[in-house]
Structure formats: C-alpha cells, structure tokens
Chains A and B, each alone.
Chain A
C-alpha cells in the first residue's frame, strides 16, 4: 500500500473520561466507503442503571497483534506504519479466533458478511494526510488524532500510556489511552 502522506508523528489518543456517549464516532465510522454502513468503533454504557458513563473502543493496533497471530488463514496483517488491518476478505474464513483472542474485545464478526471487521485507523484517510473520521468528528475530544506534543500541550493533567498488563501478559499498542498524569501503564485485573 502507498502511504505517501501518512504522518508517522501523528498518533491516536483515547480519553474515556471525556466521552459523552453521543455516538457521533459510530455514525461517522459507518460512513466510510469500506465499512458498508457498519461502525468499527463501539460506544457502550458501563452500567446505565448506575451511571451515564460510557466507554469507547477502537482497535488498539498492538505491536504484536494477537488477532493476527491466531488467524489460521493469515488474513490479518500489520503494515510498516504499525496499523493492523482488518481481515483480508479473500482470506477470512469467519472462524472468530481473532474475536476470542483480542484482549480488548475489538474484532467483531459481521454475521451478514461472514467476515471479521475491525478498525483500520481509517487508512483511506490517514494515508492521504487526513485524520480518522471518528477522531475528526468527536465533539468532546475523547478521541484525538495528532502529535504527542500537541496532546501534552492540550492536556497538561494527563499522560498517554500504551502499555497494558493483562495478568502475565504485557501488551504494547500503537493507540494511546489518556491516564492521570504520571501513569506508565494500565493494569487490567
């Protein structure tokens, strides 16, 4: 693939505390020509009975993507920019190994297509110098795409982290989560 305009200095930052649950990101994601009106970003209530808090989940684009590692059909690949691509439609056999293996719960099997679909960080936009659609429209800054210097200037009280510890497993990702200032990792119990 030709990434003539892909800016390697720009990164994706997710800040859950800013999410207002409006779903502009889902609506915008589904508009992408490759997505067939399905959203590959997911906003969910944590527990609506007790709070209006929502979470927003994009593909974290792991350094060592488990989804690709467990794929029996070699349908998932990571490119030279660190983007983990959605399943190659000609190879995907719809087995759902990736769906079960992903520690973040990102890939979804679209039953109507019998295919796994997931976020590709809008490669059609980012490869021509635009920002991903979700991070462009997000009205609250829960999703931001830009440089590390920009986010540090904008959010002096937060630190981006991209190391996640699941039990014994350490997962490093291309996508960052904003955490309280000084954080170095997120431990998931």
Chain B
C-alpha cells in the first residue's frame, strides 16, 4: 500500500522540507564548544576535511580543518552550511507508520520492526525471495555499505539490491574495468599540479566539486593549458584555454576525431602502445573516418578548436584527463568513458608523476560504496557476484553456503521497472530518493504506488518516503563512526560527533536489528563500526579493491590511506600503474573501440530542442538535505530554464517568462533565464527539486546497455512560453514543491 495516506501538501506541512537557518547569534554554546570533531563533509566525493563544533550533543557550527591535505580548510557553500542538517526541525525522531487519511503517525520501534519483518516474510513466502528488493546509497560509509550488501544477500536473501551510485559512477566504473581491470581514479589530485595540459570533460567542477578548483588553478599558475568540454560556458570554461562546447550526446564523436588526429599526426607513444596495451588497431579502425570536418558537423564544435585541443593533448609531456557525469549519464556512457581512456593510452601518459586520469566520483562515498556492498552484480573487494571463486570466498567470510548466495540482481532503474510490472512487491530503502533522482518521475511514482510494502530508513521524510508504510528514523553521517573513500581513492575516517536525537537510531543498529529478527543474528553481531570494517578488510582481501592493510589507526595517523593496500606494512597506492601491470586478464591496458552512436532520443519536429540536466553549487543531488538548509535554498531558490538568446527569440521567450517544457514523458513549468553561456540548440534545467519542479519529470529512462546508467544528459523537448512572467525567485517555494 504505497499510495500517499493524505494530500501531499499536508505531509510537507508536517515533515518539510522546511528551511533551517542558524539563529542570528548562532547556536548556544558555539563559542565554547565541548569538542571540535575532525571529520569530513557529508556531501560530494571530495570529502573535504572539516571540524564540527559540538555542544551538549548537538552540532552547533564548524571550524575549518587546515591540516587535511586535500582541502587545507577550503570548503564550498554546502560544506560551510552542512552543520545545519543537525538541529533541524524536520528531523525524524521516532518510527512512523502510514495511517490512511491521517498521514504518518509515531509508532514504537517494536511495532515498526515487527510489521517490517512480517511483511518481508509474507511477501517472500508468497512471491519468492527476489520479490523483496532493496535500494541503498553511497552517502553511507564503507561499513554501512558493506553491511547493506551482506544484509540483502544473507538476511533478506534477495538478489535485487542496487544503489544510487547507479545514477552516478557506474559508466566510469564499467569503462575503467574494461580498460584497466580496476575501478578507481588512477591518480590522486596532487598529480594535477604540474600537468601541462588538463582536459575536463563533462564535469562542472566549480559547482559540483568546488574545492577541486584549487588544484586546477594551481596547475594553471604553473602554465598548464586547460581544455573544458561542456555544452555550457561553466565557470571553469570561462577562463579555460579552449572551451569545446559539445552538442549533448555527441561526446564519443569528439574523442574519436581527436584520436584520429593523434594517429594521423603520429602523436603517439608507440613504446607504451606496443608493450603495455592491447586493442589499439581495432580501436583506431573504428575512428578512421572521423575527420575534423565530420566531427564539427556532429558535435557542433568548430573544427579548428578540435584541432587545437588535439594538438595540445598530443604534444604535452604531462597531462591529466578528468571526467564526470556530463559524459557518463548517457545511453553510451561507457563508450564515452573508454573514448577518453583511449586518448590517455594513445599518449602513454599514465602511471607517472603528473600524468593522470580519472573519473571524479560524485557522491561522498561513491568510491568506497561501490566497491564493497550494494551493487547488484558485485561482492566486497570489487568482486564479481557471478564469478564462482569470488562467490566461494565471500560465502566463507560470511559463513554461508555458496549455493545460498543470490546471483546478479536488477539495477536500480530495472528494480523500479520490475515493481511497475508487478514482479517486485516489497522494498526497503536507505539513503536513496528515487522519486526525485530517477528519470521519468511520473513512471517512478506509478511504480511506488504498486508496492505491497515499503519501508524506508532515513533521517528526513524525503519525497519517496512519503509512499512508505513504515519509516525508520536513521542517522546522519556525523552520528556514527566509520570510513569513506574519497574520489582520489583515499580511505578516510568519519567521526561520530553526536548521537542520534530522540528515538532515532544509527543506521547500523537498525539493519542489525532487522537481520536479528529475520533469524540471522549470528552473522550480524558486531561490537562496533571498527569490527565491521575489520570484516570488510578480510572480505576485500585479494580483490582488486584491497583494503586488507588499512586499519582505523593507520588512517588516523596518516590522514587517509589509498587503496589498494594489501598488508599492514604496505604504504597504500596514491598513484596506480607505476609498474604498468594492469589488472586485466592479460595484464595490459585495453583500448576499446568507441564508434559514435546516436543518443537514445534525438530532436524532431514535435520535440525540436535538446534538453540537458545537471546541478547548481548550492544544492546536492535530490536535495533531501540541501533543500532543508535556508541559505543554500536562498542562493538558488528554484530551477531555471537556461536558454540562449537566439533560441529564446525563436520561441518569443522573455526573461523570467514561465515556459512549459514538454517531453514524451511529461511536462514542467520553469522560468526562463536567457543567457549566452549555453549552446544555441540546447536548454538546461538543474534537477535537485521535487514534484512539479522536478527536471526528472522530463528525462528518459533509457539505460546504457552495460552500466545501466540512465540518460539524464540528453533528450528532446518542446518549449511553450506561457506569456506570464514568474514572480521573483526569492518568493519561490520550489524547495518544497509537490
């Protein structure tokens, strides 16, 4: 019964989002805190060091942590304001149950747990184990991610577990495994400092990873040339040496043409290609017709700019290539990723100082979370759930019979599709807000309404949780001990600064309690988070993501350890591939052909404009946290439709006029922001908002066939000006839109 119990507006009134502001004079005790807790930001993959000020078991402020080497005190606005998620009026303080006509009312832990366990058993007995699914997320620590993976397979005994990293790094992960046999950024960010040329592809660093800007600018101060590939003139592109304003959905054509240029002009590292790679010939055969003229036609980028970029890249002695969701959120996300890697391998600039490559992992623990837990096809240590040896090893660690280990399950969006088809009947979610973050939200809502039982663990009542039968109040990042792994592959310590308020409990204790009630207490008993980490170390041992040699003490003593780290006397691995021994079966780095293909949806007469989506600096993902922090909301109060003046003129659109944007999936109304900083054929809407303000009403559920990532970054839309000017942004209530 997963329909809303009362009108959604009533749920919002009670549970938010409400905007939280600090009192004018700060929280009491801020100036004399009981403790300054050295930990990390709860948001993106940079995992900036920060000190939280604690008074009387409340987080009352922050103080920069100058010694943490990646950010040395630097923060973005989200980091500065992150402490306001604690002390928040929307915080869930007791378990809630859905009561038809009344909404969500408090209930006891015992009743909430009993109901949950009896519904899990009922559904699994009636429809089979796999009819109960789990969706998780990588804001969770390594310990929780590992625990969720084990919980789904050993306690729930379902194969259908997946996670919100499916919307994030999976294309990069799949591409890296194809090319290198391992999924991690090859270098830490200090290798940017003396890179001669830096390519940033589909990564709005200044808004999504602001503290990484420091390292890019540092390289520029040393004379580095910066090439930014993005359909918009993002802040980083404004002062870049070359801005390649790519038409959304055509990235692989650009990389293919650049590779052909390197081949035609012999800007290749033949020694590296001959001795340490495979697949070169078929890869360059795939791009043999990709002339600069052809690329200009396909990508919309002036061919001289493509040539200049290829020249710079070809002639450089050192370089770094970074990419993120802009090239990965595509039905050919993996092709785009291997297209980038081909440029790196062709020039042999990897595994040496200031020669780097990597995806910029988006979520706080996007790196660690995807290695050890809740990916539908994976076991800890980045092992393969279908590999007999891997299954055997993890079964032994978990004390189960290998034949009882579920196989490969459905990916996140496929789970929603299976719910929609009626094949999956039950869902438990933690740290995932699919109603806002998945594409085609009208379809996602229909699916949620078909669930027979849905239990959500979260600290706020996010939009998806409004469809739950039971809500279990969980914990914030700063309420449990643990570790995360930053985008650099650095394993770091998350500290418990405070305990959960009211009757809220730690996520770990909630999962352990459900496991106990499902009859597997013997496999889910841990003294503390460190005990879970120590089991993770053993589980990861011998896998590509080997944490065996990493201990809490070593992390604390060294401000982080880079995996792989197989033994306690191993220093960790800040830079991969120095030995040029890759983790592929043949030990070589693999070129992979990446021929250009059309995106899943192209423009036509009915839907003549390209729509792309992305983020703004003051919001984070589905906004469960950041749409509740007053100043972050006020900085960018509502989603705006960015449109070039020429396209605006074509549709007769005026500044801040309300525009109905329609696609084959749905429609939404957004004020126009007419700016020259976007391609003339493309409009942009940021996606952090809910309900009728959600960009994901419009986006398609087309998936990459390998990574299963949805194609958020390109679809076709129609624009209709409504002849009405929007009220001022500061009056907007989009943060709580239903």
Task: Identify 20 new A-B residue pairs, CB closer than 8 A, beyond the known A21-B617, A22-B210, A48-B673.
Answer: A17-B239, A20-B213, A28-B80, A31-B26, A31-B61, A37-B26, A49-B675, A50-B676, A52-B234, A52-B235, A133-B64, A136-B66, A137-B64, A139-B211, A139-B212, A139-B213, A139-B214, A140-B206, A141-B218, A155-B221
B74 contacts A21, C-beta separation under 8 Å: no
A13-28 Cβ-contact flags toward B at 8 Å (1 or 0): 0000110111110111
Please tell me if A183 contacts chain B, counting CB pairs below 8 Å: no
Please tell me if B77 contacts chain A, counting CB pairs below 8 Å: yes
A31 to B64, CA, bound (A): 12
Question: Separation in Å of the A43 CB from the closest CB of chain B?
Answer: 10
B75 contacts A137, C-beta separation under 8 Å: yes
Please tell me if A51 contacts chain B, counting CB pairs below 8 Å: yes
One of B17-25, B96-104, B442-450, B460-468 at the interface: B17-25
B677 contacts A27, C-beta separation under 8 Å: no
A22 to B78, CA, bound (A): 9
B77 contacts A24, C-beta separation under 8 Å: yes
Question: Per a CB cutoff under 8 Å, which of A23, A36, A37, A52 touches B618?
Answer: A23
A20 contacts B221, C-beta separation under 8 Å: no
Please tell me if B546 contacts chain A, counting CB pairs below 8 Å: no
B221 contacts A157, C-beta separation under 8 Å: yes
B675 contacts A48, C-beta separation under 8 Å: yes
Please tell me if B599 contacts chain A, counting CB pairs below 8 Å: no
Please tell me if A53 contacts chain B, counting CB pairs below 8 Å: yes
A49 to B234, CA, bound (A): 13
Question: Separation in Å of the B54 CB from the closest CB of chain A?
Answer: 16
Given contacts A48-B675, A52-B234, A156-B221, contact A23 B22 (CB under 8 A): no
Please tell me if A138 contacts chain B, counting CB pairs below 8 Å: yes
Please tell me if A80 contacts chain B, counting CB pairs below 8 Å: no
A31 to B52, CA, bound (A): 13
Please tell me if A33 contacts chain B, counting CB pairs below 8 Å: yes
Question: Per a CB cutoff under 8 Å, which of A17, A49, A131, A138 touches B676?
Answer: A49
A155 to B235, CA, bound (A): 20
A49 contacts B74, C-beta separation under 8 Å: no
Please tell me if A188 contacts chain B, counting CB pairs below 8 Å: no
A27 contacts B239, C-beta separation under 8 Å: no
Please tell me if B233 contacts chain A, counting CB pairs below 8 Å: yes
Please tell me if B217 contacts chain A, counting CB pairs below 8 Å: yes
B25 contacts A137, C-beta separation under 8 Å: no
B238 contacts A136, C-beta separation under 8 Å: no
Question: Separation in Å of the B577 CB from the closest CB of chain A?
Answer: 29
A13 to B655, CA, bound (A): 36
Among B64, B79, B212, B235, the most chain A Cβ lie within 10 Å of the Cβ of B235
A51 contacts B233, C-beta separation under 8 Å: yes
B25 contacts A22, C-beta separation under 8 Å: no
B677 contacts A51, C-beta separation under 8 Å: yes
Please tell me if A154 contacts chain B, counting CB pairs below 8 Å: yes
Among A26, A49, A154, the most chain B Cβ lie within 10 Å of the Cβ of A49
A30 to B61, CA, bound (A): 12
A156 to B223, CA, bound (A): 9
* Nearest B residue to A18, CB-CB: B217
* Chain B residue total in the interface (Cβ 8 A): 49
Residues of chain B at the chain A interface (Cβ within 8 Å): 21-26, 30-31, 61-62, 64, 66, 71, 73-77, 79-81, 206-207, 210-214, 217-218, 221-222, 233-236, 238-239, 617-618, 631, 635, 645, 655, 673-677
Residues of chain A lying within 8 A (CB to CB) of residue B75: 24, 28, 137, 139
Residues of chain A at the chain B interface (Cβ within 8 Å): 17-18, 20-24, 26-28, 30-31, 33, 36-37, 48-54, 131, 133, 136-141, 154-157
A23 contacts B635, C-beta separation under 8 Å: yes
A37 contacts B22, C-beta separation under 8 Å: yes
24 inter-chain pairs at a CB distance below 8 angstroms, sorted by A residue, are A17-B239, A20-B213, A22-B76, A22-B210, A27-B77, A27-B80, A33-B26, A37-B22, A49-B676, A52-B233, A52-B235, A54-B235, A136-B64, A137-B74, A137-B75, A137-B79, A139-B74, A139-B212, A139-B214, A140-B206, A140-B214, A140-B217, A154-B218, A154-B221
A141 contacts B214, C-beta separation under 8 Å: yes
A138 contacts B74, C-beta separation under 8 Å: yes
A33 contacts B30, C-beta separation under 8 Å: yes
Given contacts A23-B617, A24-B76, contact A52 B238 (CB under 8 A): yes
Residues of chain A lying within 8 A (CB to CB) of residue B655: 49
A24 contacts B80, C-beta separation under 8 Å: yes
Given contacts A24-B76, A27-B631, contact A140 B24 (CB under 8 A): no
Question: Per a CB cutoff under 8 Å, which of B62, B206, B673, B676 touches A51?
Answer: B676
Question: Separation in Å of the A164 CB from the closest CB of chain B?
Answer: 23
Question: Separation in Å of the B581 CB from the closest CB of chain A?
Answer: 36
A52 contacts B677, C-beta separation under 8 Å: yes
Residues of chain B lying within 8 A (CB to CB) of residue A141: 214, 217-218
Question: Separation in Å of the B602 CB from the closest CB of chain A?
Answer: 28
B26 contacts A23, C-beta separation under 8 Å: no
Residues of chain A lying within 8 A (CB to CB) of residue B25: 33, 36
B217 contacts A137, C-beta separation under 8 Å: no
* Nearest B residue to A113, CB-CB: B24
Among A51, A140, A141, the most chain B Cβ lie within 10 Å of the Cβ of A140
Residues of chain B lying within 8 A (CB to CB) of residue A157: 221
* Nearest A residue to B674, CB-CB: A49
A140 contacts B73, C-beta separation under 8 Å: no
* Nearest A residue to B24, CB-CB: A36
A28 to B635, CA, bound (A): 14
Residues of chain B lying within 8 A (CB to CB) of residue A21: 206, 235, 617
Residues of chain B lying within 8 A (CB to CB) of residue A139: 71, 74-76, 210-214
A25 to B662, CA, bound (A): 38
A40 to B76, CA, bound (A): 17
Question: Separation in Å of the A183 CB from the closest CB of chain B?
Answer: 16
* Nearest A residue to B233, CB-CB: A52
A17 to B226, CA, bound (A): 14
Residues of chain A lying within 8 A (CB to CB) of residue B617: 20-23
A18 to B657, CA, bound (A): 32
Residues of chain A lying within 8 A (CB to CB) of residue B206: 20-22, 140
Residues of chain A lying within 8 A (CB to CB) of residue B31: 33
A169 to B217, CA, bound (A): 34
Residues of chain B lying within 8 A (CB to CB) of residue A20: 206-207, 210, 213, 235-236, 617
Residues of chain A lying within 8 A (CB to CB) of residue B207: 20, 22
Question: Separation in Å of the A128 CB from the closest CB of chain B?
Answer: 13
Question: Separation in Å of the B646 CB from the closest CB of chain A?
Answer: 13
